[in-house]
Amino acid sequence: MRIVDEVKLDFKDVLFVPKRSTLRSRSEVDLHRTYKFKHSQQIYTGIPIMAANMDGVGTFDMAHELESMDLFTCLVKSYDLEAWGKYHPMIGCNHQAISTGIGDSDWERLRVILYGLSRIKYICIDVANGYAEQFGDFVEKVRTQYPEHTIIAGNVVTADMTQELILRGADVVKVGIGPGSVCTTRRQTGVGYPQLSAIIECADAAHGLGGHIIADGGCTCPGDVAKAFGAGADFVMLGGMLAGHDEGGGTVEDGKVKFYGMSSESAMDKHHGGVAEYRSSEGKTVEINYKGPVKRTVQDILGGLRSTCTYVGAPSLKQLSKCTTFVRVTQQLNNVFGS
């Protein structure tokens, strides 16, 4: 056993330090990014905010609406072949990813969908524990089979595993274990890593190899999204902030919509016939306020992000991390308790 005694930070632990700026208006800030991915060599251009592949968030309707605003969607893993076939005419090739698990049935589903929908460029390989050897093997298998597709893989929270996944074929690594609003992994297992520090460390590791990362989880307001980009994230993935909208497809009752984690009992009842005897639920179900069309929320997020850039003197999202200085606003526990 050992203890890592360095300070590790979450979004709540820091604020941006404002700096002189030549920008006259938020409207001057460019939020678009262009990336060339390491393995696929594909070019992405858009606003690098992603809808998570969660029920009520990563839906076809959400993808269609977000694409119109140049945002990205990782579609839920539960869509069957019939649903994909029905949606085929609306599928864009630059702002949507097919999501998959790593089982044999997942592999077969992925192959069939990609055979019929050759325009799809992005594959999101998504598991709760990206440290399993089986996961790395699956990433390598997909890379070998689909050399021209951009592979998103996760989740991990450490630099070494970020590098491992990139070396095994991932173009983009999802970073985050336990920070989500409906994720209970930290409480249920005691496993996790403060999200801001995870982003900083994993971004540094990925960029050194020519890879990219997604900050996945923990954002509860536009300021958190800005902090994730300031810490070095290439993309920011949102679940709870994009839940509760018309495009999510949930039922509205008394002004509320149910939202749940994909490892929750609700999700496992819906997709797997219940919680298996050998495991426990690592997510929860909550009721959130109905929010109407997602466009309003997106405008609020993008407005906050532009405002951050004006405060720190960044003319574009690309420059934000270079203009970022964080100030800590919390103390270490040993200082708080006087030890």
Residue bearing tokens 């509205």:
252
Residue 275's pLDDT is what?
55
- Give buried/exposed letters for 286-307 (b at 16+ CB in 10 A, else e): bebebbeebeebbeebbebbbe
Structure tokens, 238: 């949102």
CB 227 within 8 A of CB 14: yes
297, 303 Cβ separation under 8 angstroms: no
Closest CA to 317 of 20, 107, 25, 48: 48
Judge whether 195 and 201 are in contact, CB under 8 Å: no
Integer Cα distance of 332 and 22 in angstroms: 36
Looking at residue 184, its pLDDT comes to: 73
Helix (H, G, I), strand (E, B) or coil at 286: strand
Query: What's the DSSP call for residue 319?
Result: H
SS3 27: helix
Residues carrying an active site annotation: 183, 185
Residue ranges of E strands in 21-149 = 33-36, 43-46, 49-51, 72-74, 96-100, 122-126
pLDDT of residue 327: 97
Q: What does the pLDDT read at residue 253? A: 79
How confident is the prediction along the chain (339 residues), in pLDDT tens digits per residue? Answer: 989 889 999 999 999 999 999 999 999 999 999 999 999 999 999 999 999 998 889 999 999 999 999 999 999 998 888 888 888 677 777 899 999 999 999 999 999 988 877 678 999 999 989 999 999 999 999 999 999 999 999 899 999 999 999 999 999 999 999 786 677 777 778 888 999 999 999 999 999 999 999 999 999 999 999 999 999 999 999 999 999 999 988 777 788 787 665 555 555 555 556 555 555 556 567 777 889 999 999 999 999 999 999 999 999 999 999 999 999 997 655 444 444
Q: Number of H helices and number of E strands within the chain?
A: 12, 14
SS3 content of the chain, % helix, strand, coil (to 5): 40, 20, 40
Sheet strands (E) in the chain = 14-16, 33-36, 43-46, 49-51, 72-74, 96-100, 122-126, 150-156, 172-175, 212-216, 235-238, 256-260, 285-289, 326-328
Residues 200 and 205: their CA atoms lie apart, in Å, by 9
The span from the CA of 303 to the CA of 281, in Å, is: 36
282's tokens? 């690592």
Residue 164 has a pLDDT of 98
pTM: 0.92
DSSP string, 202-237: HHHHHHHTT-EEEEES---SHHHHHHHHHTT-SEEE
**Beta-bridge partners for 43:** 36
